[in-house]
Structure 1
Amino acid sequence: MKTYFAEILLPLAVPNSFTYRIPKNMEPYVHLGLRVVVPFGKQKILTGIVISIHETPPSAYVAKYIDSLLDDEAIVTPQQIQFWEWMAGYYLCNRGDILLAALPGGLRLASESKYILNPAFDGDLSRFNERECQLIEILSKREVLDSKEVSEALGIKSIQKTLKNLLEGEAILIMEDLKERYKPKLETYVKLSDGVNDEDGLEAAFKAVQSAARQEEALMMYIQLSNRYGDIIHEVKKTVLQKRANVTSSVVKDLVKKGIFELEEREVGRLPKVEEGKTEEVEFNEFQLKALTEIKSLFETKDTVLLHGITSSGKTEIYTHLIREQLDKGKQVLYILPEIALTTQMIQRLQRYFGNTVAVYHSKFNQNERVEIWNLVLKNDGERGSLILGARSAVFLPFSNLGLVIVDEEHETSFKQFEPAPRYHARDSAIVLASIHGAKTLLGSATPSYESVYNAKMGKYGYVTINERYGGMELPEITTASLSKKNAPTGYFTQELLKEIKGSLDLKEQVILFQNRRGYAPVLLCEMCGWSPECTRCDVTLTFHKSQDRLVCHYCGSKYQSPHLCAACGSHKLKLAGFGTERIEEEILIQFPDAKVARLDLDSTRTKYGYQKILSDFQDGFIDILIGTQMVTKGLDFGKVNLVGILNADLLLKFPDFRSTERGFQLMTQVAGRAGRRQKRGKVIIQSHDPQQWVIQQVVEGNYDAVAKKELGERRKFLYPPFARLIMLTFRHKQVELVDFTAASYHKELCAFIDEANVLGPEYPAVSRVKNRFNKHIIIKIDRKFNIATVKAKIHSLNNRFFSDKQFKEVRLIINVDPQ
């Protein structure tokens, strides 16, 4: 007789899955992708996903039995399991971390600790203090308590020490209780009972409520709302009936008791419905038509195509046409954008064409909404959810019939996940996801990443360009302005920019001002000794936020009161240096007090619909001047914007990173592309202390190729991407000496199999301490001619051996493959 085992992936940050034995009575029902409940350790129970079934028992431990099944049908597809395996191998991360990132919290059952008296407890209270004895007495009466109930019973917030002592003293035990997090949204509907559904029964019902005026009103309103005597009978929600009839729930309940009404609970979706989209064809100009033809032709031989189209060239219309073709074939489409802000505007455009087929998925949704979208994609009924528009996490959805993946603004660094693991790049992951499904990938950008351009030139990707704006519009006129004291006395706005802003406001046009720094001022400075307040948990100065009247650390989020005196010399001469979006908002209102001004940055968009509110107001003309960080650079389309001001280009180009030139050019070009997208040519003013700087001049000339050629030459010479792959290793611990020792020891081991010339570090980053943990980096450069999988395997082997040494065990190693 055969014995079957299942590999279960658990939501734990460990490399391996766990083998469990399948009970005989469950064998016919266990299959890939199901959620199961399993025992773990001595007392815990966890939920996991079945990723394979086999007949080989584990050699290192005795397999426990699966406790129970949670699903009749799989909630994870075989393609997802394959995708997770690739991601774990490529990004050198734990599969449990991927499960935590992929599966909505609502599909992971929460394991809640509950406490009971130990049946073997001898009753000796002498070794426990008064509070511990009190809890023993309470448990003897109430039998079981969860953590919240323990806190309430004892009247204290901190219960950990009390519970720890009782557990160690074997007076109590923990038991785990699984709670389903996802709760379907239910709606109660009212209908007439079978006995009163004909005219005689209805007449009898009205006679029965003659003496109860409120019940009679409710019955009359039901007849009206249900359209009983019309052509189409309408269903009636209980909440709507109560509101329209102005009656309470008890009145409806009384009608149920009398046998007149019946109530029916139904599961309803939380996702908003939209009207059906239009089906008319998009009108292409000759450049779009040529690009579309080339893309289709290249898809015959290439799995991935890069569309390099200048800003406002009509790339979205090409995407729309390709999406329609796939939906007509019954395929699913994934459309990924780098920012939630972009999904707000893009969904409106796509819904005009595809209506209720479009579903959105991103981190601002609550867990219940994410579960509903997950189930829509899993169901794949050809209706809602066939077209998914989302940010990077959308790559984890359970597609089963994917036909096309579109990655818009593919150059964006927002596609890279930083914390927590898995530290994946959504663009690169999406290409692999499409390959697993046999689908095609289209990458689009006005300023493609050099990695994508390199892949296109090497023949790995197809390459298509559009060099003309849609509708014959010219690219905006870009000029520079000096931030010298004479030309910009306040330090914020040059005379040229103020003049152009006034002209735009006089013409009822809109303005975008770009400053890639949020807050009011990045530094509070003592004029006497140069002291600046720093975060107590991080090695970084604090940013002043005027709206909160607090100094804020942008690394850990800690907030501090602003000092009135210098902590070093005692002077009261403190000044705010530099400027962020808050200060620009204040200063622009001083210059133009009648203008309607708004900010688009992380602070102003923390709520679920924060982006949508600001962008809708700007779209509808309720905002004259929009001030923003790089959120305003990413593909937004506003018809009345004819002026863009880049307030400090120097900040973008002087960052200590080999990609600063590429990123600076991309940001300036992208934000410039927001101007003049409709009737008239737009204008862009770039403010700088060095207007003749070479990169700024290339932005003025729109010369992407010149910058790319120069930068790629430098990177080839010094072996940086795209000519090499990078792996960043970060060593993290609260003791700086241990971090130093560990990093140096690891470096020595690493250089045994990697040329030391290609190992940078160990070095501390610019901000070395974050959240009271010191960080030290080693960066490995791997030439593309070498097999990166072999190098990763050696690193993996080294990690297992190195961190098994007890002197290094406490140090955390963070692996970041392809750091951005």
Structure 2
Amino acid sequence: MKPDDAVSYAQVAVLNGPAEPLHYRIPQLREPTARPGVRVLVPLGRREALGIVVDTTPTLPDPSLEKGLKDLAAVLDERPVLPEDLLRLCRWMATYYLHPLPAVLETALPPGLTAKPAIRYRLTDEGRRALLGSAAPSAGARALEEALAASGELGACELRDLPRGWKAHAHRLEEKGWIRKEFAWPSTQPTQKVIRIVQLVREPPPERLTRSRHLRGFVEVLLEAGGSCPLARIRARVPNVHYWVQKLTEEGFLRVQDREVLRESPLAQEMPPSAPASLTPEQDQVVRRVGEVLDSGGFHPLVLYGVTGSGKTEVYLALIERVLAAGRTALVLVPEIALSTQLEALFRSRFGSGLAVWHSGLSPGVRDDQWKKIVRGESPVVLGVRSAVFSPLPNLGLIVVDEEHDGSYKQEDRLRYHARDAAVMRARLVGVPVVLGSATPSLQSIHNWRLGRYELLRLEKRVEERPLPQVAVVDMRRHRGPFRVLSPELQEALRETLEQGYQAILFLNRRGFATFFLCRTCGYVLQCPHCAVSATYHQSSDRLQCHYCGWEAQIPGACPVCGKHALIPFGFGTERVEEEFKRSFPHVETVRIDRDAVSRPGQLVEHLNAFRSGKARVLIGTQMVAKGHDFPQVTLVGVINADTSLQVADFRSGETTVQLLLQVAGRAGRGDAPGRVLIQTYNPQHHAIQAAVHMDYLRFCEAELTSRQALQYPPFTRLARLLVTAPDPEAAKRVAGECAGTAEELKEAFAADDRPVALMGPAPAPIHKLKGRYRWNLYIKAWSHAHLQPFLEALMAWVAHRKLPRTVHVAVDRDPMSSL
């Protein structure tokens, strides 16, 4: 094709290619379908690569780019897989998080849409006639023509065996219209579920039905089903079904067709049916206010601060119904799969097949079908975890982020984005309201409310005027030996609760049986060989395990350092709590929910259903059970050790502790009976523990924000972490030092321009070795995004031009949630 035939140009983000988009010509025959958001195949070096069109222009930004410019090889979609607002969101995320745009786009798409398609060549009727007298120019060309003439089509396996020269000849044959290039997507085609439907066109004559009871039974099944029925259902009731289907189809009595079936999420909890609840005066006031915002249109962030049990979910449902009535769509984010299973049941009862669910616990086939429903506009409501922020909902009208404070919204590898912040930005780009709901809003959201950027709405009372639970502290400094796990006070409370016929939750945010094994002779602690952390002992498997990389090993018979047989376990996790409970209450059924006990989402749903139905009386778990769940029969919550999150070397540890304690405390007393909470701690006077005891979250926020402002920590400043990792400790240290040196030079230049920036480090990360890689942190702090963003861009530009060893990785973590 001549360059003059191209009428416009496409900017393409090439997946697994360069960090910046590349320009390609759009041939005239591709122009109608080459739009932003579609997938394309493009030439890249000696191969073809998959890419996403991010923009089209009639001219090039620089005419010199025309030289050597190549054409798009193929457009793979009739309509965009990423709508305009998602493309703009991905562009913002690439800039803000300093991550390559192609990698951001790949994160936004289901895996099935980012795999390179298999190519097939099919011989056309014109080609079949033309090849009879063709004289192929090379051995590869002859082999291609002979293979096509023999089979009519060639796939990847056959093409791989052809001699060199076939590719150029295939291109010539395609231009002549003698063959047609087709693309098969291996990861999406097999996941399509198709069922065979048998439809009754007209009934056989009565005398024929009278003669054959099998035929009569066959027709009766179809009539009972309304005239059409899946073949599998007929097969279960009628013998020799294939004989009757074939015979009656040939005679014109039946019609058989294959129909695609969209699979739904199978992970909803079993919830008792209930009619929509009447809104309380507080709920109604919130719904009215958000309704005013919806009617006025435009971007408007709102923080819904509602105590646990105040009915935030019912507010979400009422708002979504209002949005759907206006012909628009809604996106609801939750932090974890454990929470989505309960909301899925509630949302499904209200919205039926109009709900699409999105999270990694679904099988690839179900995820493909959920994506199809969203793209086709068949599901105006999407409920999902972090990655659901990329759902391609058309005509978006509302975004809800439930438990907006939760750290699970932050991805800690590759694209280190925060789904809450991405949701707020998407709402801004689309121009719609976003509701950030929580019983313990993040200090960032509280700060934005104080500055007037967000509007605060409150639900201060539980539904039906139920009281908040009574919270008491158990000072564990007074208990030793057998009471280290379950104090006498907690055991007595458990006994009373169970005798009254109610349920209890025991919470400890640490899994396993023993935290570590220590040698009493030399003090050595058994560690993971790939990470600088102690190995946790799991009694169920009688093995040591690393919770970071998955390494496992048997317990050595002797200390690997001194050789003495003096290894003993220390510390405890949920597995030990379960054992201690069963020792005191041997006849009480329990379920344990942590990553060890529920390795797949189906198990999680089974455990939650067992507890909700009353088959299990006590639920033992980590933070997976701490938030969002509504169990009306739970009247007691026991916090086994409230100090675990206080010991983390992070300026957010107090905030995280209070949020976790208040959230888990809120599981108690959500039914007719009042609730109580016992918090076991070695720091009873710590301000975070006291805030949980008095259940006064806003007072804690005021004190914590005052402290953060004095120390110049977020949300009063903007923070980023430069993470340098390498398998060689010296290489990691050296590159971290070089980055720090360049950062110091940039700091001086920015200071001269009245843009102050502070540097902290470089220093080894608290977990200095992780998955075989040594880690160094360099923190960069600035007063505003306007100062921090150009500083980071300049620093990463230096990194990009500095030829680092391939084994050394440098990543930016904007707004880090973890310092580990």
What's the TM-score once normalised by structure 2's chain length? 0.85
CA distance in 1, matches of 2:490, 2:573: 17
Match of 2:196 among 188, 191, 215: 188
2:404 matches 1:398: no
CA deviation profile, 1:395-452 (whole Å, cap 9, x unmatched) = 1011221111111111100111112x32111111111111222211111111110000
Report the counterpart of residue 338 of structure 1 in structure 2: 335
Q: Distance in 1 between matches of 2:658 and 2:528?
A: 32
| Distance verdict in 2 for CA 1:282–1:54, change over 3 Å | farther
- CA displacement at 1:503 relative to structure 2: 0.7
Q: CA deviation at 1:470?
A: 1.4
Give the corresponding residue for 1:312: 309
Q: Report the 3-state secondary structure (helix = DSSP H, G, I; strand = E; otherwise coil) of the residue aligned with 2:644.
A: helix
- How many Å apart are 1:761 and its aligned residue? 0.8
Q: 1:817 to 1:14 in 2, by over 3 A?
A: farther
SS in 1 for 2:746: coil
- Judge conservation of contact 1:535–1:542 (CA < 8 Å) in 2: yes
Please name the residue that 2:70 is paired with: 64
User: Residue in 2 aligned with 1:159?
Assistant: none
Residues matched between the structures, number? 749
Shift of residue 332 of structure 1? 0.3
The one-letter amino acid of 1:235's match is S
2:691 corresponds, among 695, 698, 703, to: 698
Classify the secondary structure of the residue corresponding to 1:626.
strand
Report the equivalent of 1:768: 768
Gaps of 5+ in 2: 121-137, 141-153, 165-180
Q: Distance in 2 between matches of 1:807 and 1:616?
A: 52
Q: Check 1:690–1:279 CA distance in 2 against 1; reply closer, same or farther (3 A cut).
A: closer
* Other structure's SS at 1:110 match: coil
Give yes or no for contact 1:742–1:808 (8 Å, CA) kept in 2. no
SS in 2 for 1:325: helix
Q: Residues 112 and 146 of structure 1 are in contact (CA less than 8 Å); yes or no, is this contact kept in structure 2?
A: no
Partner of 1:731, secondary structure, is strand
2-structure distance, mates of 1:237, 1:558:
48
CA distance in 1, matches of 2:209, 2:51: 51
CA contact (8 A) 2:94 2:104 kept: yes
CA pair 235-191 structure 1, distance change in 2 beyond 3 A: closer
Superposed CA deviations along residues 71-106 of structure 1, whole A, max 9, x for unmatched, are: 222222111111111111111111111122111112
Superposition RMSD on alpha carbons, in Å? 3.1
1:506 aligns with 2:499: yes
1:567 aligns with 2:560: yes
Counterparts in 2 of 1:438-449, with a 5 A limit?
438-449=431-442
Which residue of the other structure, out of 377, 386, 411, is the alignment partner of 1:417? 411
Q: 1:600 to 1:263 in 2, by over 3 A?
A: same
AA aligned to 2:346 is R
Q: Give distance in 1, aligned partners of 2:810 and 2:217.
A: 66
Task: Spell out the pairing of 1:195-274 with structure 2 (5 A cutoff).
Answer: 197=202, 199-200=204-205, 217=214, 219-227=215-223, 233-247=226-240, 249=242, 252-253=245-246, 261-271=254-264
Q: 1:12 to 1:53 in 2, by over 3 A?
A: farther
Q: Kindly indicate whether residue 759 of structure 2 is the aligned counterpart of residue 759 of structure 1.
A: yes
CA contact (8 A) 2:781 2:788 kept: no
Q: 1:237 and 1:552, CA in 2 relative to 1: closer, same or farther beyond 3 A?
A: same
> Is the Cα–Cα contact under 8 Å of residues 803 and 809 in structure 1 kept in the other structure?
no
Using the size of structure 1 for normalisation, the TM-score is 0.85
Deviates more, 1:796-805 or 1:81-90: 796-805
- Aligned mates of 2:348, 2:694 — CA distance in 1: 36
Measure the CA separation in 1 of the matches of 2:188 and 2:412: 27
Task: Give the conservation status (yes or no) of the 8 Å contact 1:730–1:777.
Answer: yes
Match of 1:15 in 2: 19
Q: Are the aligned partners of 1:40 and 1:46 in contact in 2 as well (CA < 8 Å)? A: no
Contact 2:358 2:383 in 1 (8 A): yes
Pairs within 5 Å for 1:240-639: 240-247=233-240, 249=242, 252-253=245-246, 261-271=254-264, 282-296=277-291, 303-380=300-377, 384-419=378-413, 421-484=414-477, 486=479, 489-639=482-632
When residues 759 and 282 of structure 1 are mapped into structure 2, their CA distance, relative to the original with a 3 A threshold, is same
1:564 Cα deviation (Å)?
A: 1.9
**CA drift at 1:20:** 2.0
Give structure 1 stretches of 5+ with no counterpart. 122-142, 151-166, 168-174, 211-215
Corresponding position: 1:86 with 2:83: no
Q: CA deviation at 1:234?
A: 3.2
Question: Contact (CA 8 Å) 2:382, 2:391: kept in 1 or not?
Answer: no
Secondary structure (helix, strand or coil) at the match of 1:635 reads coil
Equivalent residues of 1:524, 1:532 under 8 A apart = yes
- 8 Å CA contact 1:8, 1:18 repeated in 2: yes
- Distance in 1, Cα, partners of 2:328 & 2:591: 41
Trace 1:30-109 onto structure 2 (pairs within 5 A). Answer: 30-49=34-53, 51-56=55-60, 59=65, 62-109=68-115
Match of 1:75, SS state, is coil
Cα distance in 2 for partners of 1:60, 1:658 equals 53
* Pair 1:69–1:279, CA change in 2 (3 A): farther
Q: What per-residue deviation string (whole Å, max 9, x for no partner) do you get for residues 236-278 of structure 1?
A: 1111122221447577456656766543111111126999x99
Q: Which of these residues, 813, 816, 820, is aligned with residue 816 of structure 1? A: 813
- Compare 756-765 and 718-727 and name the one that shifted more: 756-765
Determine if the alignment matches structure 1 residue 26 to structure 2 residue 34: no
Cα deviations across residues 23-76 of structure 1 (Å, max 9, x unaligned)? 222223322222222232213443544543443267297222222222222222
Q: Structure 1 residues 255, 544: closer, same or farther in 2, change over 3 A?
A: farther
1:749 paired to 2:742: yes
Which of 728, 742, 758 is 1:735 aligned to? 728
Q: In structure 1, the residue corresponding to 2:482 is in which secondary structure?
A: coil
After superposition, the Cα gap between the structure-2 partners of 1:13 and 1:775, relative to the gap in structure 1 and judged at 3 Å, is farther
Rounded to whole Å, the distance in 1 between the matches of 2:450 and 2:703 is 16
- CA-CA distance at 1:760 after TM superposition: 0.9
Cα distance in 1 for residues equivalent to 2:293 and 2:641: 41
* Paired residue type of 1:698: A
Deviations along 1:637-670, one digit per CA (max 9) or x if unpaired, are: 1100000000001112121100000000110011
Deviation (angstroms), 1:391:
0.7
Give 1:762 shift. Answer: 0.5
1:532-570 CA-to-partner distances (Å, cap 9, x unmatched) read 221121111111122222211111111112212211122
Task: Rate the CA distance shift 1:8–1:708 in 2: closer, same or farther, 3 A.
Answer: same
1:108–1:181 Cα contact (<8 Å) kept: no
Query: Is the 8 Å Cα contact of residues 88 and 95 (structure 1) preserved in structure 2?
Result: yes
Query: How high is the sequence identity, in percent, across the aligned residues?
Result: 32
Structure 1 residue 654 corresponds to structure 2 residue 656:
no
CA contact (8 A) 1:726 1:781 kept: yes
**Partner amino acid for 1:240?**
R
Is residue 793 from structure 1 mapped to residue 801 from structure 2 by the alignment?
no
8 Å Cα contact 1:598/1:614 also seen in 2: yes
1:11–1:145: structure 2 CA closer, same or farther, 3 Å change rule?
Answer: closer
Of stretches 36-45 and 292-301 in structure 1, the one that deviates more from structure 2 is: 292-301
SS of equivalent residue, structure 2 residue 722:
strand
Asked if 1 retains the 8 angstrom alpha-carbon contact of 2:197 and 2:256, the reply is yes
* Aligned position for 2:178: none
Structure 2 letter corresponding to 1:776:
W
Q: Distance in 1 between matches of 2:371 and 2:64?
A: 33
Deviates more, 1:423-432 or 1:282-291: 282-291
Query: What is the one-letter code of the residue matched to 2:84?
Result: P
Deviates more, 1:496-505 or 1:340-349: 340-349
SS in 2 for 1:442: strand
Secondary structure at the aligned position of 1:489 is classed as helix
